[in-house]
Amino acid sequence: MLWRGASPDGVPSGDAIVSVLSDRFYWERLVFTTAQAIFSTLLSVLVGLPAAYLLSQFNFPGRSVVRAAITVPFVLPTIVVALAFQQLLGPSGWVNGVVQALGGSPFTASGTLWAILLAHVFFNLAIVVRLVGGVWANLDAQQEEAARLLGADRVRTFRYVTFPALFPAIASAAALVFTFTFTSFGVVLILGGPRFDTLEVTIYRLAARLVQLPEAAVLSAVQLAATIVALTLYTTLQRRTARGGRLRPDRARSLKSTSWAERALIVVVAPVLTVLVVAPIAALILGAVTRDGVLTGRYFASLFVDTGTTAYVPPLQAIRWSFTFALGATAIAVVVGASAGIAVARARGRASSILDALLMLPLAVPAVVLGFGFLTTFNRGVYDLRGSPVLVLIAHALVAYPFVLRAVLAVARSMDPHLPEAAAALGASPSRVWRFVELPILARAILVGAVFAFAVSLGEFGATLLLRRREFATVPIAIFEALGRPGPDNLGRALALATILMGVTVVAFLIIERFRYRDVGEF
């Protein structure tokens, strides 16, 4: 795609580069993109840190469910997120209903910068909570206890002991969130407006009109460069977090042993968390089961009614295909991601970080460009895979494997290097060392990454949209089809399908919770 853009008439041309780089409009876009990414990141960290604290330090009933629920937004298709926010914040939404009942005047949230920022936090909270929380849960308590013994109060302990230890994790979470919000597409597209276009949306618009493909190509290159920088920062910081041997088992304690300060924190953070994460989801579910304020199951029931047209996607078939793609993509992602993770862990220093960043690139490429790229690549002779479900499978595997990579890498780096050495010293051959020492340790991480990959594949929308056929349509596609026609029933059906998607995702994540290797691992 980049090549086509760079050579519009078959001849490479630098005109587009000059015209784009000298156009103030594009610089403004770059500035806006960076600014909103920074703000989104700050907000996410601000909300995420207390949440990470609560979830990693305290054991309370329903903790796994809360953690799973926080992670759900991360994998929701963006149109579903837009719908959820609309159900909540729209003029006839629940919030407005409450406001008006209390005598206030109606307001609208869409098309504002706040809508974008809120949605970004909604999406990315999971990253901060799990990354930072994961490390926090396993932080060596002895150092903090030593500080307290020597006379430091809670604040000083936090400032000089806990925070520095956490800083690499916080910074790497921030870098990752920055990457995601910098390249944010769906959220900005739907909840923003032309004034709030990011670079990615601008590229999409330019590419949508083929004549401006050269400009799109130049902007893509700029974005890619910026993303690589951000990702390299992330991977370098992450490398410094996982110091082998510093991690201890989960130190969560029960809620009973809280101080008044901690209780105050809970009282403040819990409502914010609820509003940010639970409310949009709850609004969505409510929309799927009510009509004009009355509880009804009609939308779910009507999912199974064949409309007799080619646009109808039977929900069971959609679910079956979503699962099939998810399982297949997970299989590929496990093989690719695990190998990549081990390779990166074994590499040294700078090379390791750069390799890591490059391997994470699929996360930074817009799904639509990915889809278009596939169509123009796999189109000749025996490689003509257009129309084949294999292409969708590859696309899903591509966006899923980075998660396996991250999970495996975290554990591989924190694995005690003495263990395989000891096994070798005792006479085990390299393959035995691998099979009986390293693999069992990595297996759990692979499982963690695999279930995450599974969930991401379930929610994949952008590339699938471009590559789909009715014969193998997935649940996000079915949601999209339902939304394409007017009528409250169609909207209700879309919400019902979205609810099913969320339910399946929560179940998948609850499975992660059962198999987390003592909470070591990034996700």
Partner 1 sequence: MSITIAPSSRPRRRRFSAALLSICVTALLSVAACGGGDGSGALVLITHDSFSATDEIIARFEREHGVKVRIVQAGDANVLVNRAILAAGNPEGDVLFGIDNLSFGRAARANVFSTYRAQRRGEIPADIRKQFADSDLVTPVDFGYVNLNFDKAAGTPPATFDDLIQVPWKGKLVVENPATSSPGLQFLASTVAHFGEGDWQAYWRALKANDVAVVEGWTEAYQTRFSLYGGDRPLVVSYTTSPAAEVFFGKLTEPPTLNVIPNDQLFRQVEAAGVLRGAKNERAARAFIDFMLTDEFQEQIPETMFVYPIMPVPTPEWWRFAAVDVRPAVLDVSTVDVERWIKEWTAIMER
Contacts of 340 (CB under 8 A, 6+ apart): 359, 401, 405, 408
3-state secondary structure of 300: helix
CA 85/CA 66 separation, integer angstroms: 20
Nearer to partner 1, 351 or 422 (CB): 422
Nearer to partner 1, 30 or 49 (CB): 30
Single out the residue of 480, 485, 505 nearest to residue 495, CA to CA: 480
- β partners of residue 290: 295
Nearer to partner 1, 197 or 522 (CB): 197
Q: Shortest Cβ distance from residue 232 to partner 1 (Å)?
A: 29
Nearer to partner 1, 98 or 390 (CB): 390
Nearer to partner 1, 65 or 311 (CB): 311
Nearer to partner 1, 143 or 324 (CB): 324
Nearer to partner 1, 82 or 399 (CB): 82
Q: Shortest Cβ distance from residue 80 to partner 1 (Å)?
A: 12
Q: Shortest Cβ distance from residue 210 to partner 1 (Å)?
A: 5
Using alpha carbons, list the distances in angstroms from residue 297 to 35, 206, 290, 469, 489.
44, 43, 8, 29, 11
Q: Shortest Cβ distance from residue 112 to partner 1 (Å)?
A: 11
Q: Shortest Cβ distance from residue 523 to partner 1 (Å)?
A: 18
Q: Shortest Cβ distance from residue 70 to partner 1 (Å)?
A: 25
Q: Shortest Cβ distance from residue 295 to partner 1 (Å)?
A: 18
Contact between 475 and 303 (Cβ < 8 Å): no
CA 283/CA 98 separation, integer angstroms: 13
Nearer to partner 1, 181 or 330 (CB): 330
Q: Shortest Cβ distance from residue 381 to partner 1 (Å)?
A: 10
Q: Residue 522: exposed, middle, or buried by beta-carbon count in 10 A (0-12, 13-18, 19+)?
A: buried
Nearer to partner 1, 167 or 378 (CB): 378
Q: How would you label 457-484 residue by residue, b for 16+ Cβ within 10 Å and e otherwise? A: bbbbbbbbbbbbeeebbbbbbbbbbbbe
Q: Shortest Cβ distance from residue 263 to partner 1 (Å)?
A: 33
427 secondary structure, DSSP code: T
10 Å Cβ neighbour count for 340?
Answer: 20
Using alpha carbons, list the distances in angstroms from residue 267 to 18, 155, 168, 260, 345.
55, 19, 28, 10, 41
Contact between 437 and 273 (Cβ < 8 Å): no
Q: Which value, to the nearest 10 degrees, does the dihedral of the CA atoms of residues 229, 234, 238, 241 take?
A: 110
Contact between 475 and 458 (Cβ < 8 Å): yes
Using alpha carbons, list the distances in angstroms from residue 349 to 167, 354, 367, 419.
20, 9, 31, 22
364 secondary structure, DSSP code: G
